Amino acid sequence: MRMYVISDNIDTYTGMKLAGVNGVVVHTRSNFIEQLDKVLADKTIGIVLITEKLCNESRDTINKLKLTLKTPLIVEIPDRHGSGRRPDFITAYVNEAIGLKL
């Protein structure tokens, strides 16, 4: 199984390429969906890394795929500017999931 990255910026793509991960840079939602369809059709790809910005622009599609597909594993990654999540993201997620305030 291979990894593949779909990025919205060249810096993230270049970093992943240096780590041996092939991928593509897209700048529009339509290009992203087109590339995602190609990746999903390739059964040799086991993990798809997608930058948070692209995931946020297509949240409904990404959530649906995460819930219905066994492979490939879809992983959201922060880009060069860091994560768009708030600093207490994990604590808030746990609080919401189990109903306890930590």
Domain ranges of the chain: 2-98
pLDDT of residue 98 exceeding 90: no
Rounded to an integer, what distance in angstroms lies between the CA atom of residue 36 and that of residue 49? 11
State the architecture of 2-98 in CATH terms: 3-Layer(aba) Sandwich (3.40)
pLDDT of residue 88 exceeding 90: no
Give the SS3 label for residue 75: strand
Mean pLDDT of 65-78: 89
Question: Around 49, how many Cα atoms within 13 Å sit in the side-chain half-sphere?
Answer: 20
Mean pLDDT of 43-61: 92
Each residue's pLDDT tens digit, 21-49: 999 999 999 999 999 999 999 999 999 99
The pLDDT score that the predictor gives to residue 23 is: 95
